[in-house]
Amino acid sequence: MTRILKYCLAVAAALMLAPICSAETRDRAGTADKNGSMQSLPDGEVLRWRGYSAWLIDPTRRYRHGVLGDAIEAGGFAVRTPQGRVAVYRLDSSAVFEDRRVRLADLDGDGVPEAVVIKSYLQRGAAVAIYRLKGDRIRPLTEGPAIGRANRWLNIAGIADFDGDGRLDIAYVQTPHLAGIVRVFTLRNGSLHEIGRKAGYTNHRIGSGDLDLARVVPGSATGARLRIAVIGTNAMAVLGFRNGRIVELSRSPN
């Protein structure tokens, strides 16, 4: 028997013995090969933080919303570590990542970033989801509240210390095309806790892929500011914390 024939038979036997993947009913975590071979979201972005990089993968049409301009959302995301390992996280069929990016930020101050992404449930709408990186694995850490009905979305406006306590907070706009409620959450003891909200603002135009209509403005000891559009007008406002509440500090024409 020739060496080539022996090789072919060995490969065939290995394929026959390989396990066949079946549909799962829960989120999946795993490790990709060193090149991170997987299908990226067509309009996705790669974000980086101190040697880490992250991006959305597994394009899917299972959520018919199209708030970002098309019907393609992400079914998972990948993170490359400073050591070159690629960790992968995949959702089950009940949700998608209705986003264009995976934000990396050290929310708990341990020197390793958490992954922050907009997760949309097919039946309950969007929520902020946070994932923890452990070596070359990705694990769910916590989620904010889902909006409560399908085709209701939120857009993350920024991650900064908004209330001046020295910890990073997550600001987002819930239903930016409807009520436009700015909500700010902080990570405490492994859970997201709301520290402020104020209605009447937007950071997205429906059907657009631009997620950056709001800007974080460095502040003083009282915290960072958020420059954001006033919904239904051509004005821009600057929001900040005062006496533990979100207030509008200024407003000007756009």
CA distances from 177 to 34, 71, 155, 207 (A): 41, 18, 10, 10
Give the C-alpha separation, 248 to 40, whole Å: 39
Give the C-alpha separation, 149 to 161, whole Å: 30
Per residue in 104-140, pLDDT tens? 999 999 999 999 999 999 999 999 999 999 988 999 9
CA-atom Rg of the chain in angstroms: 21
**pTM of the predicted model, to two decimals?**
0.85
Q: What's the confidence (pLDDT) of residue 104? A: 98
Q: What's the confidence (pLDDT) of residue 5? A: 38
Calculate the CA 21 to chain-centre distance: 27
| Torsion of the alpha carbons at 48, 53, 58 and 60, rounded to the nearest 10 | -10
Q: Are strands 86-90 and 28-31 parallel, antiparallel or unpaired?
A: antiparallel
Residue 152 pLDDT exceeds 80: yes
Q: What's the confidence (pLDDT) of residue 189? A: 95
Residue 172 pLDDT exceeds 80: yes
Helix or strand (DSSP H, E) at 9: helix 3-17
Per residue in 5-60, pLDDT tens? 343 333 333 323 232 222 223 344 444 444 445 899 999 999 999 999 999 999 99
CA terminus-to-terminus distance, the chain = 78
